[in-house]
Structure 1
Amino acid sequence: MALLRLMQLGKRFGGLQAVNDVGFSLRQGVIKAVIGPNGAGKTTLFNLISGALAPTSGEIRFQGKTIQGLKPYRIAALGIARTFQNIKMFAGMTALENVMVGRHVQSGAGFVASMLRTPRSRREEVAIREKALELLDFLGIADCADIEATSLSFGQQRAVELARALALEPKLLLLDEPAAGLNIYETAEVGRLIARIRDLGVTILLVEHDMSLVMDISEEIVVLSFGEKIAEGLPAEIQNNPEVIKVYLGE
């Protein structure tokens, strides 16, 4: 059974059909990329999956259950985490504290217990801190734990963002242009980190414009153009698909 399945998904904004009749499935443990020119509907598709937008038509199933229309926090609790094209760090907080914010979603002590600093809440806070440090170490930036996150390099901030998403213990990770703003060396490092995350058992769906990164780490690719799916297949098949070549290079 597919981990994620989109069926005849559509989203209309007034007279604009941003996503039209898009369908594909994502198997567990796979890195799948969604590519296409600007305005193809890629980010809208991510907003639909993550619950930021409700579809106009179609269905989204995660682990066999329909999820379209659920609030983003409900979808996150089911095991879908997301990063964004524009890195979002909490100002005035260290890298470690930024990751701990993501882990607090897993907290069971509750708001009142946390405010009163009960023994349970203190134990949970220690566990959250330890897990956040473990994730920073896994992504190779443990030495940045106590540095204010906004002062880190773009590449380091991207790693912090990935750690924060992993703190949710997701089954599916949506990566929206993870290489945006990165230089060639940082992009290569992010590619290695994404592969390591997949090796943990996390399924990954990414939107990306850097074709070298896409072809290097993706096992399957979906191509969108003007909101419609025009191709799907292995990287080699997509590279040689006449319709894809026409979209990217013109007639």
Structure 2
Amino acid sequence: MRTAVSGHLEHPAGNTAAILLELQNVHKRFGGLHAVDDVSFKVAAGSIKAVIGPNGAGKTTLFNLIAGNLPVSSGSITFLGRKIHTQKTHQIASLGMARTFQNIKLFHGMSALECVMVGRHTRSRSGFFGGMLSLPSTWKEERAIRARSMEFLDMLGIAELADVEATSLAFGQQRAVEMARALALEPKLLLLDEPAAGLNIYETAEVARLICAIRDMGITVLLVEHDMSLVMDISDEIVVLSFGSKLAEDTPANIQKNRDVIKIYLGEDEAV
């Protein structure tokens, strides 16, 4: 199955689509460890781009740099034409970037709907004093946030679970709630950190469908993932990391034939 849109992207070296995110010579050092080593690539608007590599390749560290969870040691990260590598996570989120995490992070004691409503915080205008004074405008906004959050739960097929405590749901359902919470920000760029981790084959197929549906909504997707079937099926372009450095960047078809990529995954120089 090849569900990514074909024909709207060119080879990475000659991509003419609008660039949403750009990394230039990004480094991250932890003492003597070079976790990310001179990584550069671009993400075109309207695309699904994957970052892959063996364990310890620097994938999650790279995501943390992009989202502002970690500061870069050197280099630059540009989002929507603005340098963001010196900004805080909430500032980057307010520009239109959302993310999920490899380990699901939901709030204990909250329903699925309430967890998604939290994701609308950047869209809220009432503020602390409006909530404290219980103004009519605050209640109106609260109703609007609730209704919009229900729409995202419905889009992901879990609207009937809205009132269930989120952390009591099955693992795949929790993953869907987390994705709905990220979508509640109505981002321009969605970072997905191993969205298929811990899912069975049927849940993984559903995640693939959802990611393509998100892209079709006009949201650009950058994902880190170990499931190669998922990556090859839905990605427009793939970046391969090895020991913190960019080993390759190309289309899925070319990545599958790249001998250097084959070596790091199989330890041998054979075609897959």
Alignment of 1:47 with 2:25, yes or no, is no
Gaps of 5+ in 2: 1-17
TM-score after normalising by structure 1: 0.99
The correspondence of residues 190-209 of structure 1 with structure 2, limited to 5 A, is 190-209=207-226
Q: Percent identity?
A: 69
Query: Is residue 208 of structure 2 the alignment partner of residue 226 of structure 1?
Result: no
SS in 1 for 2:35: strand
CA–CA distance in 1 between the matches of 2:21 and 2:252? 20
- Ranges of 4+ aligned residues in structure 1 off by more than 6 Å: none
Q: Which residue of 1 aligns with 2:176?
A: 159
For residues 56-71 of structure 1, the aligned pairs below 5 Å read 56-71=73-88
SS in 1 for 2:119: helix
Query: What displacement does 1:104 show?
Result: 2.3
Determine the C-alpha separation between the residues in 1 that align with 2:174 and 2:212: 18
Q: Where do 5+ consecutive residues of structure 1 fail to align?
A: none
1:80 corresponds to: 97
Query: What are the residue-to-residue correspondences of 1:164-183 with 2, within 5 Å?
Result: 164-183=181-200
User: Displacement, 1:69?
Assistant: 1.5
Total equivalences in the alignment: 251
* Secondary structure of the corresponding residue to residue 26 of structure 2: strand
Give the match's secondary structure for 1:173: strand
1:49 partner letter: I
Q: Does 1:240 align with 2:257?
A: yes
In 2, distance between residues paired with 1:119 and 1:160? 29
Equivalent residue for 1:98, pick from 101, 111, 115 = 115
Structure 2 length-normalised TM: 0.91
1:19 is the counterpart of 2:44: no
CA RMSD of aligned residues (A): 0.7
Aligned equivalent of 1:35? 52
Structure 2: distance between partners of 1:151 and 1:184: 22
The alpha carbon displacement at 1:64 in A equals 1.2
CA distance in 1, matches of 2:250, 2:126: 45
- Give how far 1:51 is off: 0.3
**1:3 Cα deviation after fit:** 0.3
Correspondence 1:118 to 2:100: no
